[in-house]
């Protein structure tokens, strides 16, 4: 029996549509998503992922690696193509200089602080006539988690310096006087403790070291904003005061985490006081128990925040689809679940202000007895890249000789 002409027409029409969808699927990953699944998986090759090359600072490595795994497992797509994050860690200062010189060409960078982004913006504008990044453009440069600079000290010695108030207004003045006193702890009735040992990381390689330098400078001038190059360069009293502090540091390390581990491992024989991030202090709080007494966290009178911006570079090597995929990834990092995880498990203050800092399980509440405080002193207004570069150059000439 012959097949009716109408059926032949319908069969031909179906074959034409199927072949058309098959061809379109090969060309467009977006159409692939609506093509017939069994045929698609048997015949079509898997779509190539959109790879976002990310360089990030080490302080958030554990949290970020966990969230990258979740992001990729959730199969986030861009035009039907999966998004893959190719991440590598690097010190904040090294990252900025490598991007500036073209040694590394990522689509997305995340140093520890917007301080570093301001420096890159200033240096790249001077070098290329256009900035590779804009710290104030919240569409392409968004802070994701926050943690302030703090001082960590052994409780017994901290009480001698500052008392039990972990928000002292004179924290830097009293530390300066102590480290510059040749009699050391003897002037305070504890000669057996030797001299006062303060440590912070190298401002040229570590963001916390640079934040320490900036915090000291703000405090000397009694400012919270409007710091100028003239303040730094034309004040011999400031130079003398700053060198009193910096010359007391026996060795400027490269890693904030190492300083925290050293103060716990070696106790006051190595350091009485160090500057680290609040999140680093939280990470190591339990490890200090039962060693050399309690560790106390103190907050400078002016908060300088490490805000971990994720910034999409405005560079010729960044393809449009890479920028779009990077934006989707940053949206994910700012999602409620990722932000809550950053607080509860890793001790970061979320950028999402709807998440309560004293919510159940928050380490800010759990370690309140060590001086952790939900409420922070007023926050500094960060200087321009020009001022920051002037401060680094000043430190290089006078300290890092």
Residue 35 CB coordination number (10 Å): 18
What confidence tens digit (pLDDT) does each residue in 52-108 have? 999 999 899 999 999 999 999 999 999 999 999 999 999 898 999 999 999 999 999
Three-state secondary structure call for residue 1: coil
Calculate mean pLDDT across residues 339-363.
97
- What pLDDT score does 256 carry? 84
- What pLDDT score does 36 carry? 46
Q: Which DSSP symbol is given to 201?
A: B
- What pLDDT score does 287 carry? 83
What is the residue-averaged pLDDT of the chain? 89
- 23-37, 173-187, 244-258, 351-365: which has the minimum mean pLDDT? 23-37
Q: By the 8 A CB rule, do 290 and 175 touch?
A: no
Task: Tell me the two tokens of residue 355.
Answer: 């998440």
- 126-135, 234-243, 245-254, 319-328: which has the minimum mean pLDDT? 245-254
Q: CA dist 250 to 81, 196, 234, 247, Å?
A: 52, 11, 27, 7
Longest CA–CA separation in the chain, Å: 113
Q: pLDDT tier at 364 (50, 70, 90 boundaries)? A: very high
- What pLDDT score does 11 carry? 53
Q: Which residues contact 236 (CB under 8 A, 6 or more apart)?
A: none
Which domains, ranges and CATH numbers included, belong to the chain?
5-43 (no CATH), 50-143+309-347 (3.40.190.10), 147-306+366-398 (3.40.190.10)
**Rounded Cα–Cα distance for residues 107 and 52 (Å):** 6
**Rounded Cα–Cα distance for residues 393 and 77 (Å):** 44
**Rounded Cα–Cα distance for residues 401 and 398 (Å):** 7
Instruction: Indicate if the pLDDT at residue 17 is higher than 70.
Output: no
**Rounded Cα–Cα distance for residues 308 and 252 (Å):** 23
- What pLDDT score does 97 carry? 94
Q: Which residues contact 11 (CB under 8 A, 6 or more apart)?
A: none
**Rounded Cα–Cα distance for residues 313 and 49 (Å):** 20
% of the chain at pLDDT higher than 70? 89
- 27-36, 169-178, 203-212, 329-338: which has the minimum mean pLDDT? 27-36
Q: pLDDT tier at 4 (50, 70, 90 boundaries)? A: low
- Residue 142 sits at φ, ψ, to 5 deg, of -125, 125
Q: pLDDT tier at 27 (50, 70, 90 boundaries)? A: very low
More confident residue, 326 or 14: 326
Instruction: Indicate if the pLDDT at residue 14 is higher than 90.
Output: no
- What pLDDT score does 265 carry? 87
Task: Tell me the two tokens of residue 276.
Answer: 């680290």
- What pLDDT score does 20 carry? 53
């Amino acid at each position: 029996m012959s097949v009716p002409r109408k059926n032949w027409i319908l069969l031909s029409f179906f074959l034409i549509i199927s072949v058309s969808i098959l061809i379109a699927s090969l060309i467009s990953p977006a159409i692939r998503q609506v093509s017939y699944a069994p045929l698609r998986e048997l015949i079509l090759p898997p779509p190539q992922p959109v790879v976002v090359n990310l360089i990030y600072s080490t302080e958030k490595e554990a949290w970020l690696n966990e969230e990258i795994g979740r992001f990729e497992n959730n199969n986030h797509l861009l035009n039907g193509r999966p998004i893959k994050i190719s991440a590598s860690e690097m010190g904040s200062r090294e990252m900025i200089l490598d991007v500036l010189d073209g040694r590394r060409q990522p689509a997305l960078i995340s140093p520890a602080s917007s301080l570093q982004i301001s420096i890159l913006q200033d240096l790249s504008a001077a070098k290329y006539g256009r900035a590779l990044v804009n710290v104030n453009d919240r569409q392409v440069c968004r802070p994701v988690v926050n943690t302030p600079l703090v001082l960590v000290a052994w409780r017994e010695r901290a009480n001698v310096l500052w008392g039990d108030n972990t928000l002292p207004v004179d924290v830097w003045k009293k530390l300066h006087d102590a480290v510059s006193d040749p009699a050391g702890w003897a002037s305070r009735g504890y000669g057996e403790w030797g001299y006062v040992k303060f440590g912070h990381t190298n401002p040229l390689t570590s963001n916390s070291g640079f934040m320490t330098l900036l915090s000291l400078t703000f405090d000397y001038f009694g400012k919270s904003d409007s710091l100028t190059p003239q303040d730094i360069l034309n004040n011999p009293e400031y130079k003398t005061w700053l060198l009193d502090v910096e010359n007391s540091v026996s060795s400027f390390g490269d890693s904030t985490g190492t300083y925290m581990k050293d103060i716990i491992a070696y106790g006051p024989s190595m350091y009485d006081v160090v500057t680290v991030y609040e999140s680093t202090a939280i990470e190591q709080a339990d490890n200090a128990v039962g060693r050399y007494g309690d560790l106390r966290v103190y907050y400078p009178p002016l908060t300088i925040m490490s805000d971990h911006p994720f910034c999409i570079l405005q560079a010729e090597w960044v393809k449009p689809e890479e920028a779009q995929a990077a934006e989707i990834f940053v949206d994910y990092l700012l999602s409620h679940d990722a932000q809550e995880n950053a607080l509860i498990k890793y001790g970061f203050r979320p950028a999402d202000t709807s998440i309560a800092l004293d919510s159940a399980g928050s380490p800010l509440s759990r370690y309140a007895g060590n001086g952790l405080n939900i409420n922070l002193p007023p926050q500094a207004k960060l200087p321009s890249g020009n001022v920051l570069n002037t401060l680094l150059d000043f430190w290089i000439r006078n300290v890092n000789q």
